[in-house]
Amino acid sequence: MPSTEADLTRLSVAVGVIRDRDGRVLISRRAAHRHQGERWEFPGGKVDPGESVDAALARELDEELGIQVLDTEPLIDIAHDYADRRVGLQVRCVEWRGKPTGREGQPLRWVAPEALDPADFPVANRSIITALRLPRHYVISSDCDDPARWLNALDRTLAAGATMIAFRVRLGGAARRDLAGEAVARCRAAGASLMVNGTEAEVRAIGADGLHMNAAQLAACPSRPLPAPYRVAASCHTPEALRHAAACGADFAVLSPVQPTASHPDAAPLGWETFARWVADATIPVYALGGLQPRDTAIARAHGGQGVAGISGLWGQSSASPSLSGRAGSPGI
């Protein structure tokens, strides 16, 4: 007799993201007889009753790969329902030592995150790939009253190591198109991507890397507005909006306001506990926004966030500022 939803309990799984010094991640191939057999996956395994995620991950990585876990950092938690089982993936970036080997006979590969093909992985793993490709800081530009000064601020931001920037400028007509086109060129030269707060047509016209939908655009969105490899992001303020962003195929979301902000003094801040509770149910990476600085990145990640987004402390910073480029994962030693 087929299982009903009531028959299925969520299986808790600890998943490890293991990087080498070149930034590649380790993946292993599932045996044919296992659930989602012959697909590639990130190493890990079941969390036993009463066992912590870190303890389960240390045990599984020793059994599967023969490596020792020195430290972990949260990356993303994912709840996913297959037809025959419900899983909760608790994904951790791992600092490790040793020499990974397939101790259970499983093939292993080291692959750059950009070269991972989501179609090769179980569906529940695909948001992990997205999270690995995203930086810890999502820099939102200031508005523009002087294009030359704005471009100088962009150059400083790129020099500080920013790798993903939101073009949030209210200029109209040719002035906006010209500034956006120059911003795309400078981001390309620096190896960074540019998201546009605008329309699908504008993203295509200027050759940007993706669309950032505001709350109204998201509410009216029936499906993903741009195909891959474009990125799609969404501004969210409620759990329902986070669920809708995922249903529309957004790659990531920004959730705000986490802390009080001068720009929206009447908006009630979520606080970190509410942020963590809402993000725990999300199936896509979520940045924390609102009253935050780069120094808040660690607390955002500890509460389930991808990192922090914002203007203050991120936009227009000099190259002497703390790097804005960090991605998740630690190499082995």
**Residue-level pLDDT at 235:** 98
Burial 308-320 (b: 16+ CB within 10 A, else e): bbbbbbbbbbeee
Higher pLDDT, residue 1 or 55 = 55
Q: Model pTM?
A: 0.87
As a whole number, the mean pLDDT across the chain is 90
pLDDT at 20 over 90: yes
Higher pLDDT, residue 201 or 260 = 201
SS3 content of the chain, % helix, strand, coil (to 5): 30, 25, 45
Higher pLDDT, residue 79 or 121 = 121
Q: What is the pLDDT of residues 60-75, one digit of tens each?
A: 999 999 999 999 998 9
When pLDDT is averaged across residues 196-221 and rounded to a whole number, the result is: 97
**Residue-level pLDDT at 319:** 45
What are phi and psi for residue 80, nearest 5 degrees? -140, 140
**Residue-level pLDDT at 80:** 81
Q: What is the pLDDT of residues 133-145, one digit of tens each?
A: 999 999 999 999 9
Q: What is the pLDDT of residues 37-59, one digit of tens each?
A: 689 999 999 999 999 999 999 99
Q: What is the pLDDT of residues 87-100, one digit of tens each?
A: 889 999 999 999 99
Q: Residue 31 gets which letter from DSSP?
A: P
What are phi and psi for residue 184, nearest 5 degrees? -60, -45
Q: What does the alpha-carbon distance between residue 6 and residue 47 come to, in Å, rounded to a whole number?
A: 21
When pLDDT is averaged across residues 161-182 and rounded to a whole number, the result is: 96
Burial 268-291 (b: 16+ CB within 10 A, else e): ebbebeebbebbeebbbbbbbbbb
Q: What is the pLDDT of residues 223-260, one digit of tens each?
A: 999 999 999 999 999 999 999 999 999 999 999 999 98
Domains of the chain, first to last? 5-133 (3.90.79.10), 137-310 (3.20.20.70)
pLDDT at 174 over 50: yes
Q: What does the alpha-carbon distance between residue 90 and residue 53 come to, in Å, rounded to a whole number?
A: 7
Q: What does the alpha-carbon distance between residue 174 and residue 138 come to, in Å, rounded to a whole number?
A: 26
**Residue-level pLDDT at 10:** 84
pLDDT at 35 over 70: no
122: enclosing H helix or E strand: none
The tokens 């795309």 sit on which residue?
184
Share of residues in the chain with pLDDT > 90 (%) = 78
Q: What does the alpha-carbon distance between residue 218 and residue 250 come to, in Å, rounded to a whole number?
A: 9
